[in-house]
Amino acid sequence: MTNLRQLFLTHNAQTTRFPLLLAFERAEGCYLYTAEGKPSLDLISGIGVSNIGHSHPKVVDAVKQQAEKYMHLMVYGEYVQAPQVLFAQKLAALLPQQLQSVYFTNSGAEAIEGALKLAKRYNGRSQIIAFKNSYHGSTHGALSVMGNEEYKQAYRPLLPGISFIRFNEVADLDLITAETACVLVETMQGEAGIRVPDVAYMQALRRRCTETGTLLILDEIQVAFGRTGKLFAFEHFGIVPDMLVLAKALGGGMPLGAFISSNTIMSAFTENPILGHITTFGGHPVCCAAGMAALGVLLDENLIESVAEKEALFRQLLLHPAISEVRGKGLWLAIQLESFDLNKKVIDRCIENGIITDWFLHCSDAMRLAPPLIITKEQIRHACNVIIEAIAYFS
């Protein structure tokens, strides 16, 4: 294993000078296992991916069955491939009627790129409004709409025509005008440390976009598929977006993203020019088969029904003078501590004691909790005991 870690450092591109260097041989349910069989409880679901747990047998079986039939056949949108068609149909059936056309991609960042292109193409406008402390991915377009200069300053020039407003501030909505192509917003902000907006704010945002002919794009890459206690997070607010962006849990552990809109809006990609958006591997049939199976598990096993109760248990147990706040919705919570230094020490001690957690990109003094929805009450109690012990150890 030491040799494998050295090979990782030598041949795999690094994004920090201090990678965690954790090595796991297999994953099942809520646990990751080392080669020696030591389990670690995954409280972050691979950053919001494994909502139904790791390696669910029905997802694994779907992957095997599809791989035996066919894998890649042709660039997206040319051949009729059953896994794509049936999964798109299933998603559309679960969404409001106007969200009926699905464009599958490989990832969330790619879905953001496609959504931004579509908005500009559809209404002929070029100005985009995004939000301070937002996160939508790391490609150039997604980076352009990130609301944190620290992470983007080294990569300029980026896309022009982008303005940033404050999240959950009604006064800033006046900056949305008839020149605005789209407003891109996380339904609940994630990397900002999980910020849940007011219902009145989200409804005012929807009204303002409608008044100005601006497309409202909701980024639910992290929050969809039961994470907040609803299948889709916008259901908490009584609104419907013009476009919805999905990824992470969408593929059941396989790489898959999507942006979804109406047939009318999506048809803008078909002319002037034709092939207005292209991807080779987007909506890979094996990934779509995995996503279809994962969605079936989520619904058939009623995993969303227990989310609110499990959230309440976390909040009941996460009590310590060093915790100033527990924010979030459902099984998507942020434990606010006083500093990154304390947070990192607590996270590292939790990892040493078999609990995997992490911090947030734009809120490094808060700890991330986003366990698989299948987590049990016993596992929650154990995890909270370890977290509280780690906080007490350094406080």
Task: Mean pLDDT check: name the lowest of 10-14, 109-113, 359-363, 376-380.
Answer: 10-14
DSSP 8-class letter at 16: S
Q: For 54, phi and psi rounded to 5 degrees? A: -85, 140
Query: How large a percentage of the chain has pLDDT more than 70?
Result: 99
Collapsing DSSP states into helix, strand and coil, what is residue 9? helix
Collapsing DSSP states into helix, strand and coil, what is residue 194? coil
* Average pLDDT value for residue range 1-29: 90
In this prediction, residue 81 carries a pLDDT of 97
How high does pLDDT run on average in the chain?
Answer: 97
CA distance 375 to 201: 32
Residue with tokens 């496609």: 114
Q: Which amino acid is at 45?
A: S
Could you give the angle at the alpha carbon of 306 between the alpha carbons of 261 and 52, nearest 5°? Answer: 60
Confidence band for 282, pLDDT divided at 50, 70 and 90: very high
Beta bridge partners of 219: 186, 245
Kindly provide the b/e burial profile for residues 231-251, where b requires at least 16 CB atoms within 10 angstroms of the residue's own CB.
Answer: bbbbebbebbbbbbbbbbbbb
At 203, which helix (H) or strand (E)? Answer: helix 199-212
pTM to 2 decimals?
0.97
Nearest Cα to Cα of residue 297 among 232, 246, 252: 252
In this prediction, residue 1 carries a pLDDT of 59
Q: Which amino acid is at 298?
A: L
Give 311-343 pLDDT, tens digit per residue.
999 999 999 999 999 999 999 999 999 999 999
In this prediction, residue 87 carries a pLDDT of 98
Whether the pLDDT of residue 80 is over 90: the answer is: yes
Length of the chain: 395
Helix, strand, coil abundance in the chain, percent, nearest 5:
40, 20, 40
Task: Mean pLDDT check: name the lowest of 14-23, 82-91, 339-348, 361-370.
Answer: 14-23
Give 242-260 pLDDT, tens digit per residue.
999 999 999 999 999 999 9
Give the list of residues 6+ apart from residue 123 with CB closer than 8 angstroms, or none.
Answer: 181, 213, 214, 215
Residue with tokens 């404050």: 166
In this prediction, residue 18 carries a pLDDT of 87
CA distance 182 to 200: 20
Give the list of residues 6+ apart from residue 207 with CB closer than 8 angstroms, or none.
Answer: none
Whether the pLDDT of residue 395 is over 90: the answer is: no
Contact 222, 248 (CB under 8 A): yes
Give 170-217 pLDDT, tens digit per residue.
999 999 999 999 999 999 999 999 999 999 999 999 999 999 999 999
In this prediction, residue 360 carries a pLDDT of 97
363-369 and 358-360 strand pairing: antiparallel
CA distance 185 to 218: 5
CA distance 259 to 138: 17
Whether the pLDDT of residue 2 is over 80: the answer is: no
Give the list of residues 6+ apart from residue 169 with CB closer than 8 angstroms, or none.
Answer: 201
Where do the DSSP E strands lie in 238-388?
243-246, 257-261, 325-328, 333-336, 355-356, 358-360, 363-369
CA distance 372 to 332: 10
What region, left, alpha or beta, does residue 236 occupy, with left being phi > 0 and alpha being psi -120 to 50 degrees? alpha
Helix/strand/coil (H, E, C) string of 106-149?
CCHHHHHHHHHHHHHHHHCCCEEEEECCCCCCCCHHHHHCCCCH
Going along the chain from its start, the domains and CATH numbers come out as 2-55+304-394 (3.90.1150.10), 57-300 (3.40.640.10)
Collapsing DSSP states into helix, strand and coil, what is residue 92? helix
Whether the pLDDT of residue 88 is over 90: the answer is: yes
